[in-house]
Amino acid sequence: MAPMRLRHPKGVTTIQIDLDQAKVSDLQQEIFAITEIPPSLQELKAGYPPHGLTLIPELPIESLGLKQGEQLIVTQNAEAAHAHRPAASPQAGVGDSPAVPMTGLTASQVRDSVSPSPGPSGPDYVLTEGGYLVHRIVPDDNSCLFSSVALVFEQSINKASEIRKIVADEIRKDPETWSDAILGRSRDEYISHILKPSSWGGAIELTILAKHYSTEIASVDVETGRIDKFTPTSESDGGNRCILIYSGIHYDAATIAPILDAPEDFHQTVMPRMREGDDDPTLVAAKKLADKLRAKRAYTNTSTFDLRCQICQKGLKGEKEARAHASETGHIQFGEY
């Protein structure tokens, strides 16, 4: 364990962090316990002069390049915090309605009457250049990331297992980039893990898939409106992007329909990048779509949500306890309650 000083809005605190074994998410949870700043709103700086750190929860803390005795400056992302507040609804009474409870892994599938839809139970959408950006919901079956990517690039969520193999093959053939240290476990163990239908995917998988498909994958966080961009290498970059919608525990896709009742086969799943900044028309539309879902409470704060192990029925609080339980027992099936 290594001591680390946190300078935060409430003062200065020294914490102990395992620089060899901990993940970025473990550090974020420690900061949350001290500052009450949710992980999704945390901004960290280190070094002198202080420089911003890129926080990818799934990666080992080693990826931050921190040293023993390092001082971290913790602030709250003001723009994201503003976006975190539920949007006011023009409909009378809607803004005062209680939060919709999330069950299982269905946070992204909550539906109510806050926004218009193509039909009584149709998906949410927003107007954009060339048509309508439509929320394309995939099953909550632990393969949602892979199903969403399969929908975008292979036009079939049934090819999720093939997407897993793409990730496994890339890790297998590139031991330098995807070392044990970066993966947080042995490469063979990680490959075996990610090939299982019950295993979730995250930043590592999206990084690999962006390179494989030569396309930027933009993941829009419903809770904060933050856009995380996973980019291909400069040599393979085709100048395109696709959109994923992330609710905290679930990934869906978003595609462009020329008209609202167009068959799904007519949807555009990959779009050219018009601008590099977040003012790109597709990204603007994606953030508006996230606004609609946020207004419905269609997201989950993973640091505080209640989980139950579906194998032994033990109650857990947040992803940190879930990860520890999985490590101790090998149980990897969880449901929110």
Active site amino acids: 141, 144, 250, 331
- Dihedral sign computed on CA atoms, order 189, 194, 199, 205: positive
The neighbouring-strand residues paired with 241 are: 216, 271
Matching residue, tokens 């009378």: 92
First-last CA distance in the chain: 34
> Is there a contact between 168 and 191 (Cβ–Cβ < 8 Å)?
yes
> Is there a contact between 148 and 154 (Cβ–Cβ < 8 Å)?
no
CB atoms within 10 A of CB 162: 13
Matching residue, tokens 């935060």: 8
CB atoms within 10 A of CB 250: 27
